[in-house]
Amino acid sequence: MARTLDTPIQKRFSDIDPFVHVNNVAQQAYFDVGKTDYYEKVLSGDLRVVTVSTATSYMGQVRMHDPVHVTTVCERIGDKSMTLLQRLMVGDEIRSESRSVMVAFDFARQQSVSVPALWRERMLEE
């Protein structure tokens, strides 16, 4: 089983549309908050990651007063990439889900690199 990180989300007034629910663009920003938290707490180091693909499914509305949090887990690790599965949750209910393919990247050399062994180890911790 892979390590799952749970990140609480603070909604902003600008996230809410006239129908009093969180718009889809704001939900994407919430997934980015989860990715940042995952990177800082699980990966870190000198290498960085770049997002090369993202797909999102919306299963239900998120309303203004819903307490939301994002779960992030590494679903797959390849040689140079990893797939993160993220879920925007209200309580135990999934409201939207996103999969992002992230590539380990050395910005100094401007090229993709193998996912470091330490990252693999940390992503697989429970």
**CA–CA separation, 30 vs 8, rounded Å?**
9
**CA–CA separation, 122 vs 7, rounded Å?**
17
Q: What is the pLDDT of residue 99?
A: 98
User: What amino acid is encoded at 43 in this protein?
Assistant: L
> Quick one: average pLDDT of 32-37?
95
**Residue pair 49/42 in contact by the 8 Å Cβ criterion:** no
What's this model's pTM, rounded to 2 decimal places?
0.92
Q: pLDDT band at residue 12, thresholds of 50, 70 and 90?
A: very high
Average pLDDT, the chain: 93
**Residue pair 105/47 in contact by the 8 Å Cβ criterion:** yes
Query: Does pLDDT of 125 surpass 90?
Result: no
At 54, phi and psi to the nearest 5? -145, 135
Continuous segment of H or E residues that includes residue 120: helix 117-124
19: left (phi over 0), alpha (psi -120 to 50) or beta: alpha
Q: What is the pLDDT of residue 47?
A: 75
Q: What is the pLDDT of residue 1?
A: 61
pLDDT tens digits for range 47-89: 789 999 999 999 999 999 999 999 999 999 999 999 999 999 9
Q: What is the pLDDT of residue 33?
A: 96
Query: Does pLDDT of 98 surpass 80?
Result: yes
> Quick one: average pLDDT of 20-47?
91
